[in-house]
A and B are shown apart, each in its own frame.
With several copies, the nearest count.
Chain A
């Protein structure tokens, strides 16, 4: 059986990405090519459509299926980036039924490494990594401090939001936005904002 809380979080990510198609697309239109909202929405629509069919023998298997379905049919950067994140997270809980706090941190760290490997990006290059990495640090810290899961989720969301805002002065070095060079300075990174929005919704629906 896959972990119910993980399933619920994935479900929240799924519906949130579909609902925010226009908003995420608009963010990517400022200095990117405007396809970010479209790509995520199509990917997660496929997840939603096949939701009941996923193999749920364990959490890793469940997440792996999500990864393949989410990224399988969409082109561009976000398919492989998000698919790899889910895939690497899955590998941390292969065979695991119930996921604990330390597993969550390991999953996020693996996802971050996967994204870096797949897309060649590093921190400070104005990507979703710039929200994901600080958010993971917060979760790890709060876990160690014994904070309750619901409060950890709130703290994670707050960090992700601040981190997303902090991408404004950065210059994009990856993806289509990087073509605009210095013009990318002054706007928010769509990927980082998406991470913040998703973290907030996860916290809200805990």
Chain B
């Protein structure tokens, strides 16, 4: 295993500690619940936004905590849903008078932990709503058969509700916005290599030297099919061919286009894919209004990429354009 790691059991807490040490003024780390939260949360003039999932998808979600995005993220261990108690205690710590919005990528484990936590939090008198993200068009049923999976498109939901909550929107309003963004967001990914969880120490699946997994999940779940590795051009055609007709996105639409790296693919290749996708969309009459190229939702060290489209309207565009300050940053 080629990783920077001490005892694999401490992989997640040691990473979280690093995030906290790198952002001492803006973030707080609560080790008991794997919680990274805004230092100034909860603020009672805004709804608190919380996301959790397994770890291994960084920068999602622990590195998108900050002004304009999440108020807190409480991940589980690598590829494991957070224990219900983490979610419950996070909701309590971030309880705001305006409420708490729980964002959940649609997997059975996450769904059950968050729903149970929400039930308990409500029983304790908290105002809580839960919103599921399920943008992956690859397979109808996720690993745990609860419908489509939530993948890189979650960035857009987090960004939109984060911006709106910063502007003072109510919990109901945030649910409306989040559901709307989710409903116009579609993603599909391709893996060139498997990923290696630190505790396992070996690749999660096998992929021959000349193979790719089309429609792969961010936990290495099988996708639509395994195929011979083809050119970047053909790959973009395949991704667009799955994503565009699904909503569908049509001529005249303005979209956000994201090329998301799955962890092991360099940004040079992501920009190459971006350029191809941008031009192929233009040829279909679809205009890219906002572009996102880089790592947003990864699968550890997996080489691969996903393509996400979001149908833009003025409301969504304004929310995506609003400023944000998160741990994942260049400067």
Does A174 count as interface, using CB distance less than 8 angstroms? Answer: yes
Question: Which of B83, B116, B143 lies in contact with A84, CB distance below 8 A?
Answer: B116
What chain A residues lie within 8 Å of B115 (beta carbons)? 80, 118
Contacts of B108 in A (CB 8 A): 77, 119, 175
Q: Specify which chain A residues have a CB less than 8 angstroms from the CB of B112 in the assembled complex.
A: 77, 79-81, 84, 118-119
Min distance, Cβ A162 to any Cβ of chain B, angstroms: 28
A72 to B91, CA, bound (A): 14
B119 → A minimal CB distance (Å) = 7
Query: How distant is the Cα of A81 from the Cα of B328 in the complex, in angstroms?
Result: 35
Contact among A72, A81, A84, A176 for B85, CB-based, below 8 A: A72
Tell me, yes or no, whether A25 is within 8 Å of chain B by CB. Answer: no
Partner of B82, one of A75, A119, A175, A176: A75
Stretch at the interface among B14-22, B73-81, B241-249, B256-264: B73-81
The interface residues of chain B lying within 8 Å CB-to-CB of A178 are 145
A24 to B121, CA, bound (A): 31
Residue from B76, B113, B116, B146 in contact with A120 in the complex, judged by beta carbons closer than 8 Å:
B146
C-alpha spacing A179/B88, complex, angstroms: 30
Give the complex CA separation of A75 and B144 in angstroms: 14
Chain B neighbourhood of A71, CB < 8 A: 84-85, 116
Instruction: For B77, give its contact among A75, A84, A119 (CB under 8 Å).
Output: A75
Contact: B145 with A80, CB < 8 Å?
no
- Determine if A73 is an interface residue (Cβ-Cβ < 8 Å): yes
Interface size on A, residues (CB 8 A): 23
* CB contact between B84 and one of A72, A174, A176 (< 8 Å): that residue: A72
Shortest distance from the beta carbon of A17 to any chain B beta carbon, whole Å: 17
Most buried by B among A75, A84, A120, A174: A75
Q: Is the CB of B113 within 8 A of A73?
A: no
Docked-complex contact B145 and A83, CB < 8 angstroms? no
Q: Does B227 have its Cβ within 8 Å of any Cβ on chain A?
A: no
Interface presence of A6 (CB below 8 A): no
Q: Determine whether B120 belongs to the interface, using a CB cutoff of 8 Å to chain A.
A: yes
Instruction: Report the minimum CB–CB distance from B2 to chain A (whole Å).
Output: 26
Is A73 a contact partner of B143 (Cβ separation < 8 A)? no
Return the contact of A72 from the options B77, B80, B88 (Cβ within 8 A). Answer: B88
Q: From residue 66 to 96 of chain A, which have CB atoms closer than 8 A to chain B?
A: 68, 71-77, 79-81, 83-84, 87
B109 at the interface (CB under 8 A from A): yes
Interface, chain B (partner A; CB < 8 A): 76-77, 80-85, 88, 108-109, 112-113, 115-116, 119-120, 143-146
9 additional A-B residue pairs with CB within 8 Å, beyond A68-B84, A68-B120, A79-B83: A73-B83, A73-B85, A75-B80, A76-B80, A77-B108, A77-B112, A79-B112, A83-B116, A84-B119
